[in-house]
Structure 1
């Protein structure tokens, strides 16, 4: 009978009112009821674990650790890439690496400051310019003997050989040549000089070589031949508007 009374007392304690403010998941594990049926117990909270202040704090702490880990991995990746670009020792410390990077950026800024804007870069339009060179110090005649010629057009394999043949046909020799290519376009900047005796057999009214007109016309014909040859191609890299100077 005593055992029965003890058993009955335990049952009475289980049937007693539930203490307030007990966690919902604790009540669910104790009575084996689903979360949706906890509203029958007075004082039991129906909030989810994520809404509990302690659970929210734990979740925020875990998110912070993961974000910090990703940030450190991203910084490490950037530093490794910087070591590769600067060709530094893989074991170099972070402070020395950043100092080398700053020094390299300063050197590049000084280098780019000495480069003129759009220097020798090809443009989208065909262009031919022939001017007397300012380096021509000849005072024996009013006719210049040195010219600066700039030709900008589409790049092709036979452009340079044809340009050389054009200058040879005019009996002009090349003193300096600068060639730049970009995106299927090419710009050739030439410093050329006419050979001696080219204009000796010409009258004063026939001075196209000395004035640069013949050179300009020959270069224009070279570009025109190129345009005629490339117009038959099924595909072109870009459309070019002719604006010959």
Structure 2
């Protein structure tokens, strides 16, 4: 009987730890602060007008060419930014972008295909960090804490 009580208690503890991990993950997703690990999530929906909307969140090392690289990636896919939230802390950056198709479309018929293309393009931007790190002069990165919230309505990034 003692072993079954311990097993039951252990099962409860494991379940509680799993629930805490789930809650922590949810809080981290909602946090505007960058994490220590590179992350990329792309979620897509159709709004009430049937317009394809994508929420992309990426976290990586900050670098001078990051925003131009993001802009180029989105323009290449014929996307425009509806909203951008950018937070940098200690050399890390978190970008949360709400994007949609340009008025004349993207050329993708399938929304899942477009979401995959967006994810691939943003992943390539995040992975360019390694190339930038190798080619940098080895200077010390300045510590920064900046928060920028910008909403861009009806214009291309």
**TM-score with structure 2 setting the length:** 0.62
Q: Write the deviation string for residues 81-127 of structure 1: whole angstroms up to 9, x where unpaired.
A: xxxxxxxxxxxxxxxxxxxxxxxxxxxxxxxxxxx955211000001
**Pairing 1:44-63 to 2, within 5 Å after superposition:** none
**Pairing 1:1-245 to 2, within 5 Å after superposition:** 117-118=27-28, 119-133=31-45, 136-139=47-50, 145-198=52-105, 208-209=113-114, 212-233=115-136, 234=138
Q: Write the deviation string for residues 45-87 of structure 1: whole angstroms up to 9, x where unpaired.
A: xxxxxxxxxxxxxxxxxxxxxxxxxxxxxxxxxxxxxxxxxxx
Judging by fraction of residues, say which structure has more helix. 1
SS of alignment partner, residue 64 of structure 2: coil
SS of alignment partner, residue 127 of structure 2: helix
Judging by fraction of residues, say which structure has more strand. 2
| Number of residue pairs aligned between Structure 1 and Structure 2 | 113
> Structure 2 unaligned runs (5+)?
1-25, 142-157
Q: Write the deviation string for residues 181-222 of structure 1: whole angstroms up to 9, x where unpaired.
A: 1110000000000124435x5566x9621xx00000000011
Q: Name the Cα RMSD after superposition.
A: 2.7
> Structure 1 unaligned runs (5+)?
1-115, 238-245
Partner Cα distance (2:101, 2:108) in 1: 14
- Highest relative contact order (Cα 8 Å, sep 6+), 1 or 2? 2
Q: Which structure has the bigger radius of gyration?
A: 1
